[in-house]
Structure 1
């Protein structure tokens, strides 16, 4: 369906359990299912459309704990980042309140806005619309 996308080897259920422990929250069901099939997706221009589970954990912990970010940006605790556009903007699920929608965090303005109704919609838009700024 997405001939230009790159799929990785699947992750293991035990890795997802450990990731949830480190993050202190459950991963969205759709994201877990995807990671069990492909531990991340590389988009058309080598962009990490969906990060590996290791990168998801690393980036979310970093964004939630970096003191310089706390001075520059609104808190990130309600978001679960899982992919990016290659230029600094990142895509996230809203965890508080938990919902399937995907939002983009635009790093230059600290804006957070809706871009897709769920993970399937996000993948369809980001992998077929062409370009890394499909959400603009």
Structure 2
């Protein structure tokens, strides 16, 4: 399902092989948060999605764990920013902002985080919505 959608939206996208089930399970274990079903489903089809410029629209399962733990444990970040414990970062833009799942009153939502201001703004209500915007509207759609 995800591969077909991505190929339809953006034929130039680079899609990795599926993530191993153990790698997907490790995300929840390492981050102590439930992995949104749609993200787990995508990772089981392709472990990472990249646009033609090499931007990681969706990170690999391994990077999800590594980068989220690094962000949460960075001493400078603990001083400068609001906590990241309820966020699962999963993608980025070449323009600097990163994208993360957060829990909202309506379920998981996707926010864009600006590291310069610590601003966190809801930009998509689903992974499908996020992919459509990323892959058809180009960089800067989240402004």
| Cα contact 1:79–1:96 (8 A) shared by 2 | no
Is 1:16 the counterpart of 2:16? The answer is no
1:117 is matched with 125
CA–CA separation in structure 2 for the residues paired with 1:44 and 1:77: 31
- Which residue number corresponds to residue 134 of structure 1? 141
Structure 2 counterparts to residues 46-125 of structure 1, below 5 A: 46-95=54-103, 99-125=107-133
Runs of 4+ in structure 1 deviating by more than 3 angstroms, as ranges, are 95-98
Match of residue 3 from structure 2: none
Q: Is 1:43 matched with 2:51? A: yes
> Counterpart of 1:104 in 2: which secondary structure?
strand
CA RMSD in angstroms, aligned pairs only:
1.5
How far apart are 1:112 and its partner, in Å?
0.2
Structure 1 residues 61, 98: CA separation in 2 closer, same or farther (over 3 Å shift)? farther
Q: In the TM superposition, what is the alpha-carbon distance from 1:98 to its structure 2 partner?
A: 7.9
Q: Runs of 5+ in structure 1 lacking a partner?
A: none
Following the alignment from structure 2 to structure 1, what is the Cα–Cα distance between the partners of residues 105 and 43?
Answer: 23
TM-score, normalization by structure 1: 0.92
Give the TM-score, by structure 2 length: 0.88
Look up the SS of the partner of 1:113 in the other structure.
Answer: strand
Contact 2:103 2:109 (8 Å CA) reproduced: no
Identify, as 1 or 2, the structure richer in helix.
2
- 1:44–1:127: 8 Å Cα contact kept in structure 2? no
Aligned pair in 2 of structure 1 residues 112, 15: CA closer, same or farther (>3 Å)? same
Tell me the matched-pair count: 135
Mind listing any 5+ residue stretches in structure 2 that lack a counterpart?
Answer: 1-7
- For the 8 Å contact 1:78–1:96, the answer to whether it is kept is no
